[in-house]
Structure 1
Amino acid sequence: MAGAIQASELNLLTWEGYATPEITGPFEAATSCKVTATYVGSNDDFAPKLAAGGGVYDIVVPSLDAVPVLQQAGFVQPIETAKVTGFDTIYPEFSKAASLNADGSVWGVPLIWGSVSLLYRPDKIQGTPDSIGILFDPAYTGKISMWDDKSSIYWAARYLGYNNIYDLSDEQLDAVKAKLIEQKPLVRKYWTSAGELTELMANDEVYASNTWTGLTSKDVNALKKGFEVVEFSPKEKSEGWMDSMMLVKDTPNEDCAYKFMAYMQAAEGQCAIAAATGYFPVNPAAVAGCMDDAMKKDRQVGNIDFVKSLIMWEQPARLDKYIEVWNAVKAAP
């Protein structure tokens, strides 16, 4: 009996908004697999949590740049794509990404994608900003926020004019670190979740921040606080990301895991997660009948050129060095 109960569990290590009742409820009803979710605030959270006890999780959902770390550490096992109905209609730009296809195996099933843009209060910010420079403007001292993540390095690097943001030299990293430390008096708080940024914006604590495109603006504006926030892609370009479902090595709940991966490639899963987050579906065929034309345009369905306009996340050439720099910034007075 215990084995039967265990086989009906599914434990996710994932992002906020990816396991809402609207997403998991219909899946649980259809499969009798009970979903439990634990949330991360950064891609740097996955490996330590798996190292501390990988058996706690069945599926992890890292971004593309974190996939090689988990694969090379032996935390995950290859995907049998034949068990994932709908895999063949995922954008090939994602399903065939080098990070997901290594050593002759497929290591992840694309789930959702999007960009990282800038968010601001038009009633508090002068003019119409078009640059990352808004995050470094002393006019907004104490009213700026940034994601508590090593990707803050990418933002400062682009602002300083560096295009090789995933392979910065020691000299460039020193300049980035100095710029981020110089910025600290402007920063009200480094946010760790979309919900935290929503609260900072809604409570008048922050006027500008980088953000996961679609989610925080939707949530803040839904609160009807008497103001609305606006997103924009800076002239220095936005970053792009794609999150994939990976199978934890030796999971005892493999059957439920594959059912969930297939469900998330179907119309129910793709439209539910897009609605919950404001992000973009990876499977255009799946959403053909559950999104109207306006939503398809808003969620970039079929617009692969938008992907090509972004600086897609990659694992930095010297990951440890980047993490060291970001930690030094946070530790600085």
Structure 2
Amino acid sequence: MKTQYLVTACALSALAGPVLAEGSVSVLTWEGYADPSFISTFEEQSGCSVSATYVGSNDDFAPKLMAGGGIYDLITPSIDTTKLMIDLGFVEPLDTAAITGWDGIYPKFLGQDGIQKDGAYYGMPYSWGAIAFMYRDDAFTTPPTSIADLWREDLKGKISLWDDKSAIYVAARKNGDMNIYDLSDEQIAKAQEALLEQKPLVRKYWATAGELVDLYKAGEVVISNTWAGYQSSLLAAEGVKVTEFIPTEGAEGWMDSWMVVKDTPNKECAYKFLNMQLSELGQCGVANVNGYSAANAAAAKSCMTSEQFAALHQDDPDYLDSLLIWAPLADRFETYTNAWNAVKAQ
């Protein structure tokens, strides 16, 4: 079970100072990124109220922004989707000088092409981790080790897969195609075929952390992919023993970034929010709630114990390099998404 660490006093004082005029900020984000355990402190100290709408997939951002009528101020897409947000004109360049702690972000993340354009940054790295795999301990005498275990006939009706275009990445790796962010049409077709073969074995494609947790608790699912550190900790709290593993075919890595929606009228509160999320309060907030790693190494070192810092690979650059970090799909985004949607439609 993931140990819950208290946010240190330095984190709670990160926003100390005079409270300015009250305002609000609306975020389109992932579960846990606006958790009351740390957001309430921000609201009290900043005078900015926070409203959150949650997504279950990176494929949700574009449709919600298109239909949102300007109701969102900040979004947190992953690194394979940030470039699309920039290219569609949904977000605006960041004033990095107004973001305290920017220089403490891991250089590997600041170097990602997907959060910058024409010399300007559009995304503020926030958290990162792996898309690991997970199984229920009491369902296996021999632990699974491969992506291929999600295609086992003897597990029919007990398998789940994230309802996201990244299912194409999973199937491609099973097929031996490791260039998962630059697949040819033929390779995508092969991945799609593999997913169609798997479909009769799948109990349900999970969309949210809570949905996958409920499936495991009920014993309806015994193996799946997972947001590493998050669903496993929720299950442990419920007394359900599960184990995460990195398959022999490797694991994807992700990084989520905060982006400012273009022409937001709530810019003052938006930047207060960005500063909080990059401070000890926000970085250890997401680490404690979701079990994810922090993008600001300096903040993480200030608010984590040495054990938590090591457990989240904050001091292990080689771990970052071992992951297949999601990359922008450029003009192939629609191709991947359509291939996954076609699987679900059949």
Given the two structures, how large is their TM-score scaled by the length of structure 1? 0.95
Query: Within the alignment, does 1:84 sit opposite 2:99 as a pair?
Result: yes
Uncovered stretches (5+) of structure 2, i.e. residues with no partner? 1-19
Give how far 1:265 is off: 1.2
Give how far 1:170 is off: 2.1
Uncovered stretches (5+) of structure 1, i.e. residues with no partner? none
Match of 2:295 among 258, 267, 282: 282
Partners of 2:126 and 2:258 within 8 A in 1: yes
Moved over 4 A (4+): none
**C-alpha RMSD of the superposition:** 1.4
Query: Within the alignment, does 1:299 sit opposite 2:312 as a pair?
Result: yes
Partners of 1:113 and 1:281 within 8 A in 2: yes
Amino acid at match of 1:160: N
Distance of 2:158 and 2:95 partners within structure 1 = 48
Partner residue, 2:341: 327
Q: Figure out how many residues of one structure are paired with residues of the other and give that number.
A: 326
Give how far 1:167 is off: 1.8
Give how far 1:320 is off: 1.3
Partners of 1:115 and 1:241 within 8 A in 2: yes
Distance of 1:176 and 1:89 partners within structure 2 = 39
Partners of 1:54 and 1:248 within 8 A in 2: no
Partners of 1:111 and 1:282 within 8 A in 2: yes
SS in structure 2 at match of 1:285: helix
Partner residue, 1:133: 148
Partners of 2:92 and 2:263 within 8 A in 1: yes
Partner residue, 1:253: 266
Give how far 1:54 is off: 4.7
Partner residue, 2:47: 32
Distance of 1:174 and 1:291 partners within structure 2 = 45
Compare 91-100 and 39-48 and name the one that shifted more. 91-100
Partners of 1:84 and 1:262 within 8 A in 2: yes
Deviations 1:187-223 (A, max 9, x none): 0000001111011111111000000100000001101
Distance of 1:133 and 1:57 partners within structure 2 = 40
Partner residue, 2:59: 44
Given the two structures, how large is their TM-score scaled by the length of structure 2? 0.92
Partners of 2:114 and 2:328 within 8 A in 1: no
Partners of 2:22 and 2:47 within 8 A in 1: no
Deviations 1:209-248 (A, max 9, x none): 0001000000011012xx4000000110100000000000
SS in structure 1 at match of 2:80: helix
Query: Within the alignment, does 1:22 sit opposite 2:37 as a pair?
Result: yes
Distance of 1:327 and 1:275 partners within structure 2 = 34
Give how far 1:315 is off: 2.4
Percent pairwise identity: 48
